[in-house]
Amino acid sequence: MKQIFSLLLLFLGLFVQAANKTKIFTYPLPAIYHQSQLFSLQVSGIAVPVVDYNPKYDYAEFSMSKGSVKISVTLPEGTEVNDYYISPRKLAISAVKKGNQLIFTLVKDAYIIVKINKLKELVIAADAEEKDKPQSSGKGIFNISSSKYHADASGKNLTTEAIQHAIDDASAWHNGIVYVPAGVYTIGNLNLKSNMSLYLEGGAVLFFSGHPQDYKVSARKASQNRNITWWLYTDSGAHHIKIYGRGTIDGNGKYATNKENNIGNHILAIMHATDFVFDGPIIKESGAWAVIPTRSKNVVIKNFKLFNRLDMGENDGIDVMESDNVLVQHGIGISLDDPFSTKTWTQNTDLCRNWPGHPLPQNNIVFDDLLSWTYCYAYKIGQGIMQPQTNITFKNSVVYDAAVAVGVHHKWGTSYVKGVTFDNIEVEKLTHQNDDHRTWCVLFMQNGDKLGSGPISDIMIENMKIYDPGISPGKIKGVSPATQISNITFKNINMVSLGRDAETLQEMNVRDTLNYNNIKIKN
């Protein structure tokens, strides 16, 4: 009887262990990418490809079920791990150095940046297990590799028509799903239609050729002397569209914007649309502002991974413009220019001349649970404020590195900003400079178009943890005594160097001030 009881306990123990074992999902390395020569990665003993990307960082992605995983980062043989840094710091990830390996545990899915020695960074995107992955065939599934479409998965030829045909069919079916299997698909412009979804399987890449003759001109960017195309775009009035999966949408921006080609791309142009969801794929290397929800309503962008380059400019991540009710949640944004920002314009602004509809106010925009790495502003409103911007929140986020952590930059236009919250943001490093700014907080007006400016009011900055305040003073500057920044509240601003919450603007290093009124500091 005792032996049977012992066997029963052993069986139950094995059952619990099996039930608690975290499942790992890896994806094939697309043929156009190369394995990193610097990093190899194992997750609980399973090899995960690391993409050799650019001089600043490489990246890897995988998915995991609930539970913890053991991460092993291995450097080339003979390269000792001497020191390391893992962001976000708030995850409190402690690692073990073992020769040329760095070993640590990830207790849940997360987006992290690993810095070892003085090498370039390794970005690891650990997503949650996909719960809504569709079947690759069946009713309402339009697989682009099927005989009806026969899309070229080699990347060698344009296969735009095949995929557009599948999109048209999925929309006509009403809530059909375009299934993109692993492979490389070089495409021109794709028109996203109402009532359809686009699913990118892990290992699938939609690739921008970079040749201007393959794309229609949607806008002109005067500051770059360059035409811009809306690569994946919606028509005015489009609705109920979803893009999801674990594939990649690659803007090939470095090649596209060279002197010979000189074409930029908005990778995803959500133009005057409603009920749009983006969930999961990598957005990579845009040749202009990458994702632009514009004059749209009810937009959700989640599990967002923006891997732009840090050696090419005007490549913002998500610029929400003249929209209402937009949520950007759980993501990582890496780009030389602002990864997460909001803007409003007028119809005659160069980029906006072909925008559908008419200029609109911006309202109810939320950025939540993000990790930002940039040479400019990590989280920002502006520079364009030509229509009102109200009720905008950035919260529960981290600045890995930037020039400015949080800011409102009212440079263009005469409209107003009102009701802004920056809440629970940790600032880890500020090692870059944007204009004369290298500081954690900037709120200012610049009057760039000489038309005057508009007021900025009702700003709440709370529950901040500032590891690095920067080396230039923080700024609060209205444009004149008649146009001020007013009603600013700082609450629980923890300056790590002080070991406590700041009690004055001086202690916050916010020392460049002019034309403001009603500042409150609460702890």
Q: What is the pLDDT of residues 91-138, one digit of tens each?
A: 999 999 999 999 999 999 999 999 999 999 999 999 999 999 999 999
For residue 75, give the DSSP letter. Answer: P
Cα 62 → chain centroid: 17
Please determine, for residue 11, whether its predicted confidence score (pLDDT) is greater than 90: no
DSSP string, 126-193: EEEPPS-PPPSSSTTEEETTSTTT----EEEEE-HHHHHHHHHHHHHHSSEEEEE-SEEEEES-EEEP
Distance CA 334, CA 113 (A): 11
Please determine, for residue 20, whether its predicted confidence score (pLDDT) is greater than 70: no
Quick one: pLDDT at residue 3? 47
Q: Categorize the per-residue pLDDT at 13 as very low, low, confident or very high, splitting at 50, 70 and 90.
A: very low
Distance CA 172, CA 243 (A): 17
Please determine, for residue 302, whether its predicted confidence score (pLDDT) is greater than 70: yes
Please determine, for residue 2, whether its predicted confidence score (pLDDT) is greater than 90: no
Quick one: pLDDT at residue 385? 97
237-247 per-position pLDDT tens digit: 999 999 999 99
Please determine, for residue 12, whether its predicted confidence score (pLDDT) is greater than 50: no
Yes or no: say if 172 and 194 are a contact pair by the CB < 8 Å rule.
no
**Phi, psi torsion values for 202, nearest 5 degrees:** -55, 130
**Residue showing tokens 């997460």:** 340
Quick one: pLDDT at residue 223? 86
Q: 17 in helix, strand or coil?
A: helix
Quick one: pLDDT at residue 7? 42
- Closest by CA to 226, choosing from 171, 288, 174, is 288
Largest CA distance in the chain: 90
179-227 per-position pLDDT tens digit: 999 999 999 999 999 999 999 999 999 999 999 999 999 999 988 899 9
23-70 per-position pLDDT tens digit: 999 999 999 999 999 999 999 999 999 999 999 999 999 999 999 999
Residues 153-157 have a mean pLDDT of 97
Quick one: pLDDT at residue 160? 98
Distance CA 478, CA 284 (A): 37
- The CATH number of 24-128, from 2.60.350.10, 1.10.645.10, 3.40.120.10, 2.60.40.420, is 2.60.350.10
Name the pTM for this structure: 0.95
Bridge-based pairing state of the strands 291-294 and 263-271? parallel
Domain boundaries, the chain: 24-128
Distance CA 148, CA 146 (A): 5
377-425 per-position pLDDT tens digit: 999 999 999 999 999 999 999 999 999 999 999 999 999 999 999 999 9
Yes or no: say if 231 and 210 are a contact pair by the CB < 8 Å rule.
no
Mean pLDDT of the chain, nearest integer: 95
